[in-house]
C-alpha cells in the first residue's frame, strides 16, 4: 500500500509547503494521539532564511566570546579563517553596543568577561589552631623556622599549581599535607592551561599574585599536558622545531625563577606517560625541556612521575601494584590520573619534601 506517509516523495520546489496528514488507518492505530487537521505551514526557503537570520543574530550577540575562543584555539588555518570572520563581527557588535547584552548573559551563565567558563579552583586548607592562652599560660615569642620545625602554630605554607593533571595531583596532595597537622596547603589550578598560551591564561601573572598574597615556602607544580602546540605569533613558532624548544625551555626557566624568587623551594612534578603514542611523544618533549630547565634553577627539585604512575620502565600503564595490591592509577581517557593515582603520587611528593628538602613532616 502506498499513501502520503510511506509512499515515494518528489523533491520540494520553492513554492511547496511542508504538510503531512495522517491516514484513517493511522488514526485508528494511534487513538491516544490528538490529530490536528489544520496546521501552519511555511515554504522551505523561508524556513532556511529564518534559520540563517537567527544564526547571524546569535553570532553577532556572541561575537566577542567567539572571537576569544578562536584566539586561544590551536594555531593554524582554521584559527586564521575564524578570526578573519569574527574580528569584524566583534567590532560591529561593539559599535552597536551589543556587547553589553553579551556581558549580562555571561554573568548570568557564570562566565568571565571574555566568555570563558570558569574552571579555576582556589582552596586553602591547614591545621586547626588552638585558641591563644589567656590566664596564666606561658606565651612563646620565638617562632622557629617551619621548614625545620613545622608545627600547628607555625605551619609550612605550601602552594600547589597546575592544569587538569595538576588538579588530579593537587586534591590528593592538599588533603595529605593538611592531615599532617603542620602544613597549610593552597591549591590554585585551572584546566586546559600551561606555559604555551599566556593569551588564554597567564600563569606567570597568576603565580606572581599568589606569591604576593600567600608567601609560600614551598611551591609544587605539575603542568604541561596542554603545551604541545604552536606559539601564536606573529610569527607563529611551530611545535617540534628548535625555535619552539628554545622558547619553551626559556619560559620554564623564567617561571621556575619566579617561583623561587622569594626564597621558596620548588618541587616540579613531571607528566606521566600517555596511552596514545603520538601524544606520549609530544609529552616526552615537554618533560625533557622541563627537566633541563629545572637543572638550571637553584632550589628546584624535579620529580619524575613516570615510574610512579607507570610500569617499572616508565611506560604507560593504567594499573600498578602497591603493597601487593593492584591499583588503578589512570582514567579511561589514558591521560588523567585517578584519585588512587593522585594519592600515590602525593605520597611521593611528600617523601621528596622530607628526603630532598629536609622538611620533617610527621
Same domain, 76 and 159: no
Into how many domains does the chain fold? 2
Same domain, 259 and 175: yes
Same domain, 161 and 234: yes
Residue 11 lies in a domain: no
Residue 66 lies in a domain: yes
Same domain, 168 and 312: yes
Same domain, 68 and 155: no
| Residue given cell 540563517 in the structure block | 52
From its phi and psi, is residue 349 left (phi > 0), alpha (psi between -120 and 50) or beta?
Answer: alpha
Domain that holds residue 78: 44-109
pLDDT tens-digit readout, 146-170: 999 999 999 999 999 999 999 999 9
Same domain, 85 and 195: no
Residue 176 lies in a domain: yes
pLDDT over 70 (residue 280): yes
Give the per-residue pLDDT at 292. Answer: 98
Residue 100 lies in a domain: yes
Give the per-residue pLDDT at 49. Answer: 81
pLDDT tens-digit readout, 23-56: 666 656 655 545 555 454 567 787 788 888 887 7
Same domain, 86 and 164: no
Same domain, 244 and 97: no
Of residues 314, 238, 230, the one with CA closest to residue 274: 314
| 187 vs 78: which has the higher pLDDT | 187
The DSSP bridge pattern shows strands 183-189 and 156-162 to be parallel
pLDDT over 50 (residue 116): no
Same domain, 215 and 327: yes
Residue 188's CATH number: 3.40.50.1110
Same domain, 98 and 174: no
From its phi and psi, is residue 67 left (phi > 0), alpha (psi between -120 and 50) or beta?
Answer: alpha
Same domain, 291 and 218: yes
Q: CB of 169 within 8 A of CB of 349?
A: yes
Same domain, 63 and 153: no
Amino acid at each position: 500500500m502506498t499513501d502520503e506517509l510511506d509512499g515515494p516523495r518528489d523533491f520540494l520546489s520553492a513554492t511547496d509547503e511542508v504538510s503531512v496528514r495522517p491516514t484513517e488507518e493511522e488514526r485508528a492505530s494511534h487513538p491516544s494521539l490528538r490529530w490536528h487537521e489544520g496546521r501552519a505551514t511555511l515554504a522551505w526557503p523561508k524556513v532556511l532564511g529564518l534559520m540563517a537570520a537567527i544564526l547571524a543574530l546569535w553570532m553577532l550577540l556572541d561575537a566577542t566570546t567567539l572571537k576569544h575562543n578562536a584566539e586561544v584555539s590551536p594555531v593554524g588555518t582554521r584559527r586564521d579563517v575564524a578570526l578573519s570572520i569574527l574580528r569584524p563581527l566583534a567590532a560591529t557588535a561593539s559599535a552597536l553596543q551589543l556587547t553589553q547584552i553579551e556581558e549580562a548573559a555571561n554573568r548570568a551563565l557564570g562566565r568571565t568577561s571574555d566568555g570563558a567558563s570558569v574552571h579555576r579552583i582556589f582552596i586553602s586548607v591547614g591545621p586547626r589552631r588552638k585558641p591563644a592562652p589567656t590566664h596564666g599560660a606561658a606565651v612563646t615569642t620565638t617562632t622557629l623556622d617551619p621548614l625545620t620545625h613545622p608545627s600547628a602554630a607555625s605551619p609550612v605554607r605550601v602552594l600547589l599549581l597546575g592544569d587538569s593533571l595538576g588538579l588530579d595531583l593537587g586534591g590528593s596532595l592538599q588533603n595529605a599535607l593538611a592531615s599532617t597537622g603542620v602544613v597549610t596547603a593552597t591549591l590554585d589550578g585551572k584546566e586546559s592551561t600551561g606555559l604555551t598560551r599566556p593569551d588564554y591564561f597567564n600563569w606567570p601573572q597568576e603565580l606572581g599574585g599568589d606569591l604576593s598574597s600567600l608567601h609560600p615556602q614551598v611551591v609544587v607544580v605539575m603542568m604541561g599536558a596542554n603545551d604541545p602546540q604552536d606559539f601564536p605569533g606573529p610569527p607563529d613558532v611551530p611545535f617540534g622545531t628548535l625555535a619552539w624548544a628554545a622558547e619553551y625551555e626559556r619560559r620554564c626557566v623564567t617561571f621556575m625563577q619566579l617561583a623561587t624568587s622569594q626564597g621558596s623551594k620548588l618541587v616540579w612534578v613531571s607528566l606521566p606517560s600517555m596511552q596514545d603514542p603520538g601524544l606520549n611523544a609530544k609529552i616526552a618533549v615537554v618533560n625533557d625541556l622541563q627537566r633541563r630547565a629545572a637543572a638550571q634553577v637553584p632550589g628546584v627539585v624535579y620529580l619524575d612521575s613516570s615510574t610512579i604512575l607507570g610500569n617499572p620502565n616508565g611506560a604507560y600503564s593504567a594499573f600498578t601494584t602497591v603493597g601487593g595490591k593492584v591499583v588503578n592509577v589512570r582514567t579511561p581517557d589514558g591521560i588523567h590520573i585517578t584519585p588512587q593515582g593522585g594519592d600515590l603520587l602525593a605520597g611521593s611528593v611528600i617523601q621528596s619534601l622530607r628526603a630532598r628538602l629536609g622538611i620533617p613532616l610527621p
